[in-house]
Amino acid sequence: MNYYKTTKPFLSTLLLCALSLNTSFSQSPKSLKSVYQEDFLIGTALGVEHILEKNEKANLLIKREFNAITPENIMKSQLIHPSEKSYNFEIADKYVDYGYKNKMYVVGHTLVWHSQLPAFVGKIKSPDSLRIFMTEHINTVAGRYAGKMNSWDVVNEALNEDGTLRKSVFLNLLGEGYIKEAFDLAAKADPKAALYYNDYNIEQPAKRKGAIEIIKKLQASGSKIDGVGIQGHWSINSLNLKDIEESIIAFSQLGIKVAFTELDLTVLPNPWDLRGADVNQRFAEKPELNPYKDALPDSVQTTLANRYADLFKLFLKHRDKISRVTFWGVDDRHSWLNGFPIRNRTNYPLLFDRELEPKKAYQAVINLKISK
């Protein structure tokens, strides 16, 4: 596997850290990355607090359990390119250094996305000006980290639910050719990195068809595309394994790898049949929509564990097609789902709880491998 190479002796440091944390978890001989090392990478999304290593227990957990990392927010254009002529690389540099020193697979997320854009982009009205922004942004960001990123999420969430192209500022001003332009720019700026198209709900038939069309057009035009990222923001109450399996097969038949890039499973009610990760969707707070404010009932813990086990059984069945499974957050406290699509809810979508301890879901995922 294509991890960062480093000669620094970090293993002894990690061992000392492990011994300093007197918890039963730290003494366990198994970890996610170790039991799945022959199958696919196991990743997590890092926030600023993780990149800066502010919490010793979280830092040890990340290094112990994961061999791939994605930046949660700090490489999105709003933060890394805040004004037309200025960039803020401070935390992004530290993120790359974190991956390097810990021999991890490092993902750049994301180069072109219609959301979380710098304020000045909203004032752009001409195709030429937007093309200059996109070109300079990709050249500068991907160029800075050329040879240091294992992969880039080049274009993020370009599709509507029906599989048509989203009417973003990029489509409106540049036409559908902006996707090819973005991939070609990324390939030139960082030729060694794998290039991915990333989106939510593309396991669903209509949107999957749109993603396949994007990939086929890129391939037909000679553009480099190495993989597709299915985000995996799903619910324990409506997990459609059939759609997910059909998508793994359909995308892999295009000759590319499939990654699950932002995996989490909400346990909370969803009365609107909301699916996916459109960050603009918001709903009013109601007590009945926040039923587990203080703790998650054991019965729901079990359901969450069963759903994760079902998913990973499917992933293992298609291990030859899958490059990476990345959880969108380190632990439940860190999850974006605590505030989406309703603020101030308490969610429990990941494998580690708010105290950074493994949940039933963690053990269910581990047991799929160690019980054999």
Q: Mind listing the pLDDT tens digit for each residue in 248-269?
A: 999 999 999 999 999 999 999 8
148: tokens are: 């240091």
Instruction: Judge contact between 141 and 113, C-beta under 8 A.
Output: no
Total tally of structural domains belonging to the chain: 1
In a domain, 18, yes or no: no
In a domain, 20, yes or no: no
| DSSP three-state, residue 57 | helix
157 is an active site residue: yes
In a domain, 130, yes or no: yes
In a domain, 54, yes or no: yes
369: tokens are: 């491998």
Confidence of residue 274 (pLDDT cuts 50, 70, 90): low
Confidence of residue 27 (pLDDT cuts 50, 70, 90): very low
- Rounded to an integer, the average pLDDT of 300-309 is 98
- CATH number for the domain harbouring residue 251: 3.20.20.80
* Residue type, position 370, single letter: I
| DSSP three-state, residue 200 | coil
In a domain, 112, yes or no: yes
> Which listed residue (65, 72, 157, 181) is catalytic?
157
Domain that holds residue 169: 25-269+281-370
C-alpha span between 368 and 332 (Å, rounded):
22
pLDDT digits (tens, 9 = 90+) for 184-206: 999 999 999 999 999 999 999 99
In a domain, 227, yes or no: yes
In a domain, 6, yes or no: no
On the question of pLDDT at 20 being above 50, the answer is no
What DSSP element (H or E) covers 124? none
Q: How confident is the model at residue 153, as a pLDDT?
A: 98
> Which listed residue (65, 181, 203, 262) is catalytic?
262
On the question of pLDDT at 14 being above 50, the answer is no
- Rounded to an integer, the average pLDDT of 137-158 is 98
Q: How confident is the model at residue 282, as a pLDDT?
A: 56
Instruction: Judge contact between 192 and 147, C-beta under 8 A.
Output: yes
265: tokens are: 């499973």
- Rounded to an integer, the average pLDDT of 108-133 is 97
In a domain, 16, yes or no: no
- Rounded to an integer, the average pLDDT of 27-42 is 89
Which segments within 56-193 are labelled E, that is strand?
68-71, 105-113, 151-156
355 is an active site residue: no
C-alpha span between 159 and 13 (Å, rounded):
45
Max Cα separation, the chain?
Answer: 59
pTM, entire model: 0.89
